[in-house]
Structures are given as C-alpha cells and as structure tokens.
Amino acid sequence: MSERVEIFEVGPRDGLQNEARDIPVADKIALVDCLSRAGFSRIEMASFVSPERVPQMAGSGEVLGGITRADGIRYAALVPNMRGYEDALAAKVDEIAVFASASEGFSKANINASIDESIARFEPILEAARHIDLPVRGYVSCVADCPYDGPTPPEKVAEVADRLFGLGCYEISLGDTLGQGKPDSIARMLLAVREVVPVTRLAGHYHDTGGHALDNIDASLSLGVRVFDAAAGGLGGCPFAPGAAGNVATEAVAAHLERLGYETGLDADVLAEAADTARAMRAG
C-alpha cells in the first residue's frame, strides 16, 4: 500500500480572507459543503478575529452554523485571543488554531503583539482547550522571510515552533507566508525545526507566490513532512503580508502527490468542482 500524505484544506479561511469582494455566507457554506465530499479529515473554514481587520471572516459563526457537517471531518477555525476562543466554541468548532510569527515585524502587523505577547495570549487558550480536549494547532508565519524584517533565521522558527509545541499544540504548521521560500531555505528551516519538534507533528503551509510551493513540498517530503496545507483553486493571501498571493492549490498538490505515488484519499473530481466554486467566488 502506498504511503499516505494528508492535505489540510484551508481554502475557506486562508483562501477567502483576502478577497476584497463581499462573499455571501451562503456561497461560503456551499464551498465548505463541496469540500466536505472530497475526503478531507480537517478543513479550516473560519476565523474569529477582529471584523475590522479581516472583514471577509466576519460571518464565520454563521458559516459554521450553516454547513452540513460530515462524519470524520474536523472543522477548524483561527483564534487569536480568548474572545475568539469563546466565539469559536459557541460556533461549535471541532478544533482551533493559534497563530504566531517567527518575525517580530509580521507579528506586530498581523496581530498587534510581539512574539512574546502573542505566546502569553495563547497560554490561557491552550489551558482552556486542554480541559475540554479541544485540539489546538499552532501556526508559525514567515518561516522563510518576512515582509518587514527580511530573511528569517531558521533558529528563530525553531524557537517559536518549540514554544507552541510546548504549550500543547498538537501540530505545528510552518507558513511560508510570502511564498518566496525555495527548497534550500525551506530545507534549512525544517532541519532546525525537526531538532525540537518531531517531524510527524509538522505541516508545510506554503504560499505559491513565487511558484516554488510544489518544489518546497518535495523538499519537505524528503525530510519527512507528511501534512501540507492547501487551498482549493489556489486562492488566498494574507492582508498583513503585502505581496503575498495565493496558497498552493489543493488540486495541484493532490495531483502532484498522486504522481509521486502517495495516497491522499481525495476525490479528484470533487476537488476540481471545489476549485471551480472557489475561483467563481473570486471572480464575483
């Protein structure tokens, strides 16, 4: 049997958060419901953040309330603080993600906190989640470089990953937010992070701005990473990382992995349908 690689679908969150057009809640629900037929175990579909900062995610509670939940899928949401945690619980998420940065400049621009301050905000969230057995994922952004601070030292990524893992995050997703990382810089970063967090608890979250995401996935596969984040239709970006374009497209990653002989458990026809649905939302 071929080896399994998991794609963590982030399109309804990372794919849509940067779209300027006001996307109706019903359209977001339709995208999630389509993705729920594709075979994913985890779909990140919401953010409980300031609606002033990320207007596109303002209807997250309604989206969660409107989807048809499929058995075996954990529906996830980003949570920056206790307020977001409580809103996410009220919306009945199955898991949450806290998000930190390996660079101070992006941390400040994204969540208005230093790295230390952000970790201090996450502590009570992890503590509360532990009491109710709610899985918490941890993101580290700017793992290759930062739009404000330049190249990120691999040791800094390892330090932040280690802190999030130490707090109790079950998996650390490593974000090449700007999508300018290349296989050598991604490999150097992974070699450092692997020293402190088991590689089986790492995920690659590679934006495809520079067109290197599939090569970065190959480099990560060779170092043992078996989980990759991707967004249907290749939508996405971060409002606080100027120039960061789309996430790597789910359908491209799935096809690539299958070509390499890995099993993803995903249905290519449904992925194509989801990609069309996502792109139509962008086109308006």
Residue ranges in contact with ligand HMG by CB under 6 A: 14, 17, 47-50, 53-54, 78, 80-81, 83-84, 87, 99, 110-112, 139, 141, 175, 177, 205, 207, 238, 240
Annotation marks residue 238 as catalytic: yes
Residue 87 or 95 with smaller CB distance to ligand HMG: 87
Which amino acid, one-letter code, is at 109?
Answer: A
12 interacts with, out of ligand HMG, Mg ion, none, CB within 5 to 8 A per kind: none
Binding-site partner at residue 118 among Mg ion, ligand HMG, none, CB < 5 to 8 Å by type: none
For residue 249, report the phi and psi dihedrals to the nearest 5 degrees: -75, 135
User: x/- site string to Mg ion, residues 9 to 28, per CB under 5 A?
Assistant: -----x--------------
| Residue 106 contact partner, candidates ligand HMG, Mg ion, none, CB within 5 to 8 A by sort of partner | none
DSSP track, 185-239: HHHHHHHHHHTTS-GGGEEEEEB-TTS-HHHHHHHHHHTT--EEEEBGGG----T
Residue nearest to ligand HMG (CB): 175
Phi, psi at residue 205, to the nearest 5°? -125, 90
Q: Can you say whether the dihedral through the CA atoms of 112, 116, 122, 123 is positive or negative? A: negative
Within a 10 A sphere around the Cβ of 181, how many other Cβ atoms? 31
Nearer to ligand HMG, 231 or 270 (CB): 231
Partner from ligand HMG, Mg ion, none contacting 141, C-beta within 5 to 8 A by type: ligand HMG
Under 8 Å between Cβ of 243 and 274 = no
* Residue 221 contacts residue 246 (beta carbons within 8 Å): no
Which of 142, 146, 169, 238 is the catalytic position?
A: 238
What is the set of active-site residues? 238
Give residues in contact with Mg ion (CB under 5 A): 14
